[in-house]
Amino acid sequence: MNFNILDKTGRWIFYYLISSVFFAAGTHLITFFSRNNMWFFTPMSVIQFLILTMFFYHVIKNQLLKKLALAAAFLVFGFAVVDFIWLEGPLTYNSYSLTLQNFFLLLYSVIFFWELLRDEDLVKQSIFVNSLPNFWYNSGLFIFHCSNFMLSLAYNIYQGTPIDRSIQHATLSITFIGGFAEVVLIYIGLLKAKTFRS
Averaged pLDDT for residues 48-54: 98
Judge whether 113 and 142 are in contact, CB under 8 Å: yes
- What integer pLDDT is reported at residue 40 of this predicted model? 95
Helix spans in the chain (H): 8-33, 38-59, 63-82, 95-117, 120-124, 133-160, 165-197
Between the alpha carbon of residue 29 and those of residues 15, 18, 51, 94, the distances in Å are: 21, 16, 23, 20
Judged against a pLDDT cut of 90, whether residue 67 lies above it is answered with: yes
Residue scoring higher pLDDT (158 or 133): 133
Judged against a pLDDT cut of 70, whether residue 1 lies above it is answered with: no
Judged against a pLDDT cut of 60, whether residue 63 lies above it is answered with: yes
- What integer pLDDT is reported at residue 196 of this predicted model? 60
Q: Which residues contact 178 (CB under 8 A, 6 or more apart)?
A: 143, 144, 145, 146, 147, 148
Residue scoring higher pLDDT (21 or 164): 21
Percent of the chain with pLDDT over 90: 67
Q: Produce one character per residue of 94-113: b if its CB has 16 or more CB atoms within 10 Å, e if not.
A: bbbbbbbbbbbbbebbebbe
- What integer pLDDT is reported at residue 162 of this predicted model? 63
Angle 38-59/63-82 helices, nearest 10 degrees? 170
- Could you report the per-residue pLDDT of 77-134, keeping only the tens digit for each? 999 999 999 999 999 889 999 999 999 999 999 999 999 999 888 877 777 888 899 9
Averaged pLDDT for residues 16-25: 96
Judged against a pLDDT cut of 60, whether residue 198 lies above it is answered with: no
- What integer pLDDT is reported at residue 125 of this predicted model? 78
Average pLDDT, the chain: 90
- What integer pLDDT is reported at residue 5 of this predicted model? 80
Judge whether 5 and 197 are in contact, CB under 8 Å: yes
Q: What are phi and psi of 89, to 5 degrees?
A: 95, 160
User: How far is residue 46's CA from residue 99's CA, in Å, rounded to a whole number?
Assistant: 11
Q: Please, which pLDDT band fits residue 189 given cuts at 50, 70 and 90? A: very high
Residue scoring higher pLDDT (192 or 19): 19
- What integer pLDDT is reported at residue 26 of this predicted model? 94
- What integer pLDDT is reported at residue 153 of this predicted model? 84
